[in-house]
A and B are shown apart, each in its own frame.
Chain A
Amino acid sequence: MVWQAIARKELRGLLKPRRRRAGLALVALVFVLGGYLLPLNVSSPETADLAPYMTGAVTLVLPLLGLLLGYKTIVSERESGRLLLLLSLPHSRLEAVFGKFLGRGGVLALVVASGIVLASALVAYPFGSLQPGVMAAYVLVTLLYGLAFVSIGMGISTLTSSSQRATAGTFGVFFVFVVLWSELKVPFRIALDYLGLASDGLPNWALFVYGLEPGMCYQRIVQAFFAGSDQGSYLGADAPFYLGEWVALIVLVCWVIVPVTAGYRRFEVTDL
């Protein structure tokens, strides 16, 4: 397999333009800022406190970064003809998609890891404490969340041959998942109520469907694993297991795998 060559080339190309590096540094800086502010509000903070404290910012910034990294990957290469150059070399289309996904995921990992490590250092010094295991877990979970959006972006990118449509689709996903989703709960309940499927509050299956969105999964994971919460309709003691944090983790992993795979399968059978 030579997908490493593609991933390496992606990394090189992605990190070259100065403006892009500045943008990526800015995202890492969001974490650092959180790490700076947290000790001002909490005395003797721990690494685990960082995760719930950052959730609001993370669920806004990472989808944006992930989608931006993903949505042009294939479609712009296809439109410009860079894809022809890539596939003139002995690469399969699978290697091309996989290699690019890894390259872009690598950039995301770099940003998330450096941001969280620096933030954790700020939390730990001088009055807090550092738990390396917790920090690693937080990096991993946050990375999964970001990768889900790289995957969604690349899925869109492989599905269409027009940059404009990819841009529109990406904007739609961001709007629905990040801006609109939290507002959807009420209309969702009213609609089910109208259909006679819900009385007061959402039934468990509807909570499950509503909770499939990557941000919802991420919040549950952070609440359960880092904030130690066992309250609420998802994590409460009488909630069924499929609303819990472990299922949320599995759903998040699916968000990383499924969109880009679905896009690839379509891409594999089309003429360039």
Chain B
Amino acid sequence: MAAIEAQNLTKRYGTLTAVDRVDLSVEEGEIFGFLGPNGAGKSTMINMLLDFARPTDGQVEVFGMDCQRQSVAVRERMGVLPEGYEVYGPLTGRQHIQFAMESKRADGDPMDILDRVGIADAADRPAGDYSKGMAQRLVLGMALVGEPDLLLLDEPTTGLDPNGAKAMREILTAENERGATIFFSSHILEQVEAICDRVGILSDGEVVAVDTIQGLRSAAKSGTKLLIAVDDLDAVDLDTIEAVDGVDSAWIDDDRLAVNCTSAAKIDVLVALNDGGADVLDFTVEEPSLEDLFVEYTGGRS
């Protein structure tokens, strides 16, 4: 059974289509990154999973349960870090975790959770005095209560410093190893690259790509740039190289051979060079950054 299964999911606000006929399947046990520029519809999508917003058309299920009709049952199996929340000012961090435990009917010591997210020393201070990063850790802690089967996080590293972002990644990885499926949205690419099994790219309410990061790379047109040092540049026939499947262009760049090609064609280029009688001394690969891919998929809007 899929952890998340969306079919033809659509949300319109008046004439604006925030989410446009999205079909998406997230497998149990995977870490799925949901990428897109601001305003692409990521939050609307997540809001429909939580029943904060109702689909105009289509449907979405979590573990086979309808997110609208069985919303409470769905949220019983979820841990959620929403976007744009505010904590309960007068209540302490410990009381927040206690409340989440009562809501989810989970046992345990709130301090264990606070310790895990790194704010144990602030447990008895009112959460209204917390910094943005501490509040984010606190709500992550609330999401972790009761060992949820699915962690749903909307822009989880908002307000976190680099150390906090790293701690967040470690917690998510640990949760994933425990068996939880993780679905999070982000517009920050490095985070996605660091931990995701698969990535979905959302642009203008439509899912334009779903693949592994590796898969996205090899599918991208901008491709890889190879810089190859050979013993004798005269022995290189540029036309032969360009004839290799997957190669876009080849040219001499300073003292080296430069080749634009797909990621998959790298080895073929080296083999072709070898067959042509040139000895490869050294080579470097410039993979396109995820940012390049992202811009390519979303048409430069970000």
A positions within 8 Å CB-CB of B: 2, 4-6, 8-9, 12-13, 16-17, 80-82, 84-85, 87-92, 269, 271-272
Contacts and interface: CB of A to CB of B under 8 A. Distances in A.
A269 B52 CA distance: 10
7 contacts: A8-B102, A85-B88, A85-B142, A88-B75, A89-B100, A90-B73, A269-B54
A16 B128 CA distance: 12
Given A13-B91, A82-B88, A88 B82 contact: yes
Contact of B139 (A2, A6, A85, A87): A85
Contact of A80 (B53, B73, B86, B90): B86
Given A88-B75, A92-B71, A271-B54, 11 more contacts: A5-B102, A9-B88, A13-B88, A13-B91, A16-B91, A17-B90, A85-B86, A89-B99, A89-B100, A90-B73, A91-B75
B116 interface: no
A6 B102 CA distance: 9
A12 B102 contact: no
A89 B91 contact: no
Contact of A2 (B71, B78, B80, B105): B105
Nearest to B89: A13
B104 A82 contact: no
B63 to A, nearest CB: 14
B103 A91 contact: yes
A267 to B, nearest CB: 12
Contacts of A13: 88, 90-91
A4 B105 CA distance: 12
B100 A84 contact: no
Contact of B87 (A12, A16, A82, A90): A82
Instruction: Using C-beta atoms within 8 Å of the partner chain, give the interface range for chain B.
Output: 20 to 34
A140 B84 CA distance: 41
B150 interface: no
Contact of B52 (A4, A84, A91, A92): A84
Majority secondary structure of chain A interface residues (helix, strand, loop or mixed): helix
B52 to A, nearest CB: 4
A81 B84 contact: yes
B75 A5 contact: no
B226 interface: no
Contacts, number: 84
B129 interface: no
A12 B105 CA distance: 19
A88 B80 contact: yes
Contacts of B104: 89-90
Interface string B68-109: 000111011010111111111011000100011011110000
B87 A85 contact: yes
B86 A90 contact: no
Nearest to B73: A90
Nearest to A272: B52
B249 interface: no
B71 to A, nearest CB: 7
B50 interface: yes
Nearest to B87: A85
A88 B139 CA distance: 10
B52 A271 contact: yes
B47 interface: yes
Nearest to B101: A5
Contact of A90 (B76, B81, B91, B99): B76
A88 B54 contact: no
A84 B83 CA distance: 8
A272 B99 contact: no
Nearest to B103: A89
Contact of B47 (A2, A85, A89, A272): A272
Given A5-B103, A80-B86, A90 B72 contact: yes
A58 B141 CA distance: 45
A12 B89 CA distance: 11
A89 B82 CA distance: 10
Given A81-B85, A81-B86, A87 B50 contact: yes
Contacts of B91: 9, 12-13, 16
Nearest to A10: B88
Nearest to B52: A272
Contacts of B85: 81-82, 84-85, 88
B86 A82 contact: yes
A270 B91 CA distance: 28
A92 B88 CA distance: 19
Contacts of A88: 50, 75, 78, 80-82, 85, 142-143
A272 B50 CA distance: 11
